[in-house]
Structure 1
Amino acid sequence: MGHLRSLLTWLGQPSLKKALRWLIIGAVLFFLLQTIRDHWQEVAQIRIERAGWASLAIATGITLFAHMFTGYVWTWILQELGQSVKGAWGVSVYLKTNLAKYLPGNVWHFYGRITSVKKVGVAANIGTLSVLLEPLLMVAAACIVGLIGLRRLGIPQFAPVLQAILLIGTLTVVHPRILNALLKRVAKLKKTSLDAPPRIRRYPILPLLGEIGFLLLRSLGFIATFLAIAPIQTDQIPLLVSSFTWAWLMGFIIPGLPGGVGIFEATAIALLGQHFSTAQVLSAVALYRLVNTLAETLGAGLVVIDEQQNY
């Protein structure tokens, strides 16, 4: 027992966590660079036609709408915590702070939202709880959406059992009793001060459904991006939705580069490389990274322009 306690203490050391983080980043970058090197000539031969550029424009619009929509979902979370906030305000704050996630530390977008919440009279502990609850609900939603094409990811014999386990486990985790305990634990890990923290009183079904909608919209944006590179059969849509969602989830939860850069791409290539050419997948994930960044930048820019006009 003493050896186990010593092992857990050693694994929890900040220096080891930092080393593991850089190990993950190094492994991901090595995989990506190796894949790009092996398939660069194939990627260079891919050409985007006029219809493909239209598809990319549509993908950008869908992705921008997805980010706007999740701003509304964040206000639903605040409303679940007893706060009266407007959806338009939530969208504005969300879009304006979203780009900060690319800064080192990957926490500055949360800080910006907490600061904005305090400015409209919401207690800091409730604002902090809302930004802790949002990623937990996103992870739960990703586990649900990822089930859509699970059978096509190479494990058909285990898919029904795994689907049932993931679904039941996810719905259990977002139960108020479990969720309150998780939020308390996350607050401690992030060394966040939550004086007399509010509790989730009921099952957050509306915010969970909202996050599911957010991920479906993001998946649709990815599919529109993929269409600019290669044709897609109808029966391949569940595969693309599931693969995108798992790749997004890995980039979201695994410590790596800011914004999940690298993790998302490596996971998408690993999942889709068996169903499409590696060159097509490489091009699609690279383009989607640009589409998403452009959508986030447009969203933040539109908010700034609107604020200047109303000033």
Structure 2
Amino acid sequence: MKNKIIKNGIRTVLVASSLAYFFYYLYQHYNNLPNLSWNLSVAVGLMGGTLLYCLNILTGGVVWNILLKNYNINISWIDSIHIVSFSQFGKYIPGNIGQHIGRVVFAKAKGIPTATTLQTIFIEAIVLSIVGVLISIIGFYFFQFKGFYNSELLLVQIIFFALVLLCLPKILFSIINKLVEKRFLKFALQDRLVIPKFDTLILITILHITMFINLGIILNLIARVVLGSPENHIFFLITAFSWSWILGYLAPGAPAGLGIREAVLVASLSMRFDPAIAIGLSIILRFITTIGDGFVFLIALAFKYRLPKVKTDHITDPSKKSN
């Protein structure tokens, strides 16, 4: 009984803290919005950008579902999307880890082992960072050193580098299991670190790439429809966001990457856009993502008590999973 009260208390504190910081940042972003000529086109552009951003959150739930399948967790797409959508709101808590803590807490409430959730979060973070870095590197060379490299050779180098990075989690997990296996097994409820299958890594990598592409499309939508800029270079916008996202994602203590991400994004966008447009793009993107997080959270909250507890099997090595 006491444990249940404590768990409910933790969940309540997480949600309440997230809501408080969310409304604080929403108010800030709204006040920072540039002077817009409000009309139907601008409204459609903002709504379209918000809906596209919501698709990224849903894609994150699909990615998590795919990873859980590798750990023998029988969970529906709706369950995984719901948990990711609900816990995503925790990123507004200072520390930049609230969304991860939230997922662990809410997943545990649905019967998903904590060790499994932590491993999937680790894999997601590595793959997402790899994708962001690779897009950034390709964009950096494309826009800064285009005349100094043989494009075909560079493509081969990038593909090789990507394959090496994709294998990195397996190497790290193997080393960790050999060096600290006994101590870790005791900590992680008798579970050992296991790597998802290679085809799963490829699949979630592709999904993460689509998420970055989607953000580039959102930036282009804002530039052309909301701000009326004729500039149209999707890949540049994807690259600019990737740079800013990586630094914002890794920034310790920054709620949702605030500050760092905007500064890098504005500096990158200023290469091709007027400074005023670059600043407007950054501010409006942050406003759209904040509204999107709130919208998805409200939907997840509405369905919070309608989802059954998921069925889970004990974690096993994905390579030994029965058909």
Q: TM-score, normalised by structure 1?
A: 0.75
Q: Does 1:200 align with 2:195?
A: yes
What pairs with 1:1-311 in structure 2 (closer than 5 Å)?
A: 47=37, 49-146=39-136, 149-157=139-147, 160=151, 164-175=156-167, 177-180=170-173, 193-194=187-188, 195-203=190-198, 204-227=201-224, 228-234=226-232, 236-307=233-304
1:41-89 residue CA offsets vs partner (Å, 9 max, x unmatched):
xx96664553122111100010011111111111111112232221111
SS in 2 for 1:285: helix
Deviation at 1:222, TM superposition (A): 2.3
Distance in 2 of aligned mates of 1:172 and 1:232: 39
Equivalent position SS for 2:102: helix
Distance 1:243 1:293 in 2: 19
8 Å contact kept, 1:148–1:241: no
The count of residues paired between Structure 1 and Structure 2 equals 266
Give RMSD over aligned pairs. 3.1
Secondary structure of residue in 2 paired with 1:296: helix
For residues 156-187 of structure 1, the C-alpha deviation after alignment (integer angstroms, 9 at most, x for no partner) is 245646665444333212215335258879x9
Please tell me the residue identity of whatever aligns with 2:108. Answer: K
Which sections of structure 2, spanning at least 5 residues, go unmatched?
Answer: 1-31, 309-323
Distance in 2, matches of 1:148 and 1:156, equals: 10
User: Deviation of residue 297 (structure 1)?
Assistant: 0.5
Shift of 1:145: 3.4
> 1:218 deviation in Å?
2.4
CA distance in 1, matches of 2:294, 2:177: 33
- Displacement of 1:240 in angstroms is 1.0
Report if aligned partners of 1:230, 1:280 keep a CA contact under 8 Å in 2.
Answer: no
The 10-residue stretch of structure 1 (45-54 or 263-272) with the greater mean CA deviation from structure 2: 45-54
Verify the 8 A CA contact 1:126 1:197 in the aligned structure 2. Answer: no
Shift of 1:123: 2.4
Whether the aligned pair in 1 keeps the contact of 2:135 and 2:242 (CA below 8 Å) is yes
Equivalent-residue separation in structure 2 for 1:289 and 1:45 (angstroms): 16
Q: 1:181 to 1:51 in 2, by over 3 A?
A: farther
Structure 1: give runs of 5+ residues left out of the alignment: 1-39
Instruction: Give the residue type in structure 1 aligned to 2:195.
Output: I
**TM-score normalized with structure 2 length:** 0.72
> Percent identity over the alignment?
18
Which residue identity is paired with 2:227? I
